[in-house]
Amino acid sequence: MLKEYGLYLDTHRVLVFYYKIACLYFGSGDNEKAIDYLNRIINQKGDLRTDLQCYSRLLHLIAHYELAISICWSI
């Protein structure tokens, strides 16, 4: 969907969308999809929104921790 409106969106807005989508997935307990969206922010080329990248790295770390706990409890 973001590709469809790509002409109207700048990189900053796309990164914010990715972060909000990752937060929604994290909040709903789908840590794998949250990690996917957070990786898109972390692997972004350029030095844009370093604060958003910092928050993404923190949430990325927490999502991996939660994912490991959920895997351990499911065994």
Mean pLDDT in consecutive groups of 10 residues from the start of the chain, 75 residues:
75 92 96 96 86 95 90 71
Q: How many distinct structural domains can be found in the chain?
A: 1
Task: Report pLDDT for 42.
Answer: 94
Rounded to 10 deg, the angle between the 31-42 and 50-74 helix axes is 150
Q: What is the pTM of this model?
A: 0.85
Residue 64 resides in a domain? yes
Q: Which residues have C-beta within 8 Å of that of residue 2, sequence separation ≥ 6?
A: 9, 14, 17
Q: Give the domain extent around 23.
A: 6-74
Residue 1 resides in a domain? no
Task: Report pLDDT for 24.
Answer: 98
Distance between alpha carbon 10 and the CA centroid of its chain, in Å? 17
Contact yes or no for 55/16 (Cβ under 8 A): no
Task: Report pLDDT for 70.
Answer: 77
